[in-house]
Structure 1
Amino acid sequence: MTAPPRTAAPHTAARPAGSGRAAAILCLALAVLLAAMILGLAVGSQHEPPGTVLDVVARRLGLGNPPVTLLDDQIVWQLRLPRVLGAAATGAGLAVCGAVLQTLTGNDLADPYLLGISDGAAAGAVSVIVLGLGGAGAAATGAVSTAAFAGALLSVALVLALSGAGTRSLSAARTVLAGIAVGQMCGAYTSFVVLVLGDRDAARGVMEWTLGSLAGVRWPTAVFLAAVALTGTAVMTSAARDLDAFAFGETAARSVGVHVERTRRLLIATAALVTACLVAHTGVIGFLGLVVPHLVRLVCGPRHGLLLPVSALLGATLLVGSDIAARSVLPDREIPVGVVTAGLGAPFFAWLLWRRGRSEQAPR
């Protein structure tokens, strides 16, 4: 009598194990993010004990009526919490966009600014800062964000037009080259305006914006950034199975029924829009979108169903931590957060280039 094949048991046993590991990784990443956010609320020019931080948040959320002072409430809830939420949202959005673009372009060195987004945003911001088109005070701040957003969108539209978005085929290689070309044009415009039409104060303002800062994030901006990051992450994570197919090449993706051109167009447009919204309000914050996906792949592997949410959590944690360092390293002044992320990301970038060069030289 022939024994029945035993295929169901190993399959059902493997699935809970994989699901359990993924859940554990997500829970750990979330716990680390929450710890970083509490630390971000506590650290500053005036230290707030973690217990006071939790009391303020609990009181504001209606989870009790612990005694807190008006000063503690203003510092934790009105000043620091929007900044911490904005940092978390920005880091999450940039990290997810970086992971998606690396898969779509097949380029390990791709990041959210590959499509000329940061240079386009900088061109828009410089037009307001140097030429004084935004007025003064709060109106000027809003004008800089609006102009940066418009510049980012225009640069993305130009990149997609040059790379053939109106045709049946949207080549990853053409998209990268178009992004480089548009970025160079925007960079040339920015340099011309600053050097020829600007003065010293304008040049300083441009430099501060291009190095990134979360100092001006308040509740309306924080809510907007969080909505953008959550929506963008949800849209891109919903295409996780298609991205898994892209990781094996376009031919493999087509063989399993993926509409390659349409999917690439949708996801590139989503990543570009998310990055444009984030850059418009925080300035240029580099290296997160490059570094985080590679770190997550070392732990989680290439499956995008886990890669993207963990990248979002780790990106949020790293930017919250970087912002803590930016406002704590020097006792009497704050350094741009982009300086901190560059200091962390540049060595990793160099290591990635070295590792890639060794793999290409290895005998096959």
Structure 2
Amino acid sequence: MAKIVLLEKIHPSAVDHLRSEGFTEIVQLPTALKSNELRTTLADVDVVGIRSATHVSADTLKHLPNLKAIGCFCIGTNQVDLPAAAAQGIPVFNAPFSNTRSVAELVIAQAILLLRRIPEKNARTHRGHWDKSAQGAYEVRNKVLGIIGYGNIGAQVGILAESVGMRVTYYDVESKLPLGNARPAATLEGLLEQADIVTLHVPGGSLTENLMTTERIATMKPTAVLINASRGGVVDIDALNAALRERRLAGAALDVFPAEPKNDKEEFVSPLRGLDNVILTPHIGGSTEEAQENIGREVADKLARFLKAGTTRWAVNFPEIPHLEKEAKSRILHVHRNEPGVIARMNADFAEAGMNIVAQHLQTRGPIGYVMTDVDAPIPAALLNKLRGEPATIRCELL
């Protein structure tokens, strides 16, 4: 039976689901682990579940030959070296949909609070100032919400925004079908120029690093506000800080940061601290009971299906084979370099051993091939060793 380790206080729904699927050897640890601790803790582990604070590098993966799958109990997967995991035959699963509503609700709430200048009014009232002025406070009705990144969350934000009377425009590097009355913007700069609220919903990585530069922030209206609930590196914090302090921007709300504390004992440091027109939240976009419960169940289900049937549907870095019930006597999961002749040689090995293949499913993704083979008899150890010894083999497992 597979050994599973879950880090970072993953919701109990994950454990409940895994146990309901027959997995009992589950270890839960409350915090993230550094690379050297990961190597020690996961030395004999089949599956690890993490959130955003645990980083799994290519070097760490080299020291974990027994690891078969990684579950990211969150939306993002940039904390894992995905190509390195694939090259080692390890699919990575995440929860791209489960916290969509929670993040979208937070963004809409922040938009309303910022346009009404509630953060500033709240801070001044706590200090004893009774400021009832309406100057600079606006309704969100008829205001333009500019969404950068029109994926699952961005589209949901747009739907909620329209329900409170906002006009929605969006920009995405890919062509996306608009929902509701949303309109695509031809350029990013064009969106920034017209939006009263700009909200970011793009993936992390080099292509979006410092997407919001000094120049792009300067393109925004001085009455506009900026919201980032995507990835910390997307906004140049120094540029944003300067714009806010110089009143070239009306306000901002950030839920993610370039550098975040690893736990609640470590101090959060940011030049934006102390600004009355800024909402700072500790990466809680998906931190609702509903979202965490859904994430726990969704990722646990993907891991259970992989362990029991080899299913890789929705893996973010791996050839995808949909769920197929194991009905034959034996199932071989073979991960290999995507090169000519691998399947022919493998099937010849089955034939030579007198094995009848009753079903076979192959998918490739870049340099990786993944084939699921069902046979109607037990697999001899000699055949399994021969398949594992094939020069192109990355991983070969018998279910």
Q: TM-score range by the shorter chain?
A: under 0.3
Larger Rg: 2
TM-score where L is the length of structure 2: 0.23
Relative contact order (C-alpha < 8 Å, sep 6+): which is higher? 1
TM-score where L is the length of structure 1: 0.25
Q: Which structure dedicates a bigger proportion of its chain to helix?
A: 1
Q: Which structure dedicates a bigger proportion of its chain to strand?
A: 2
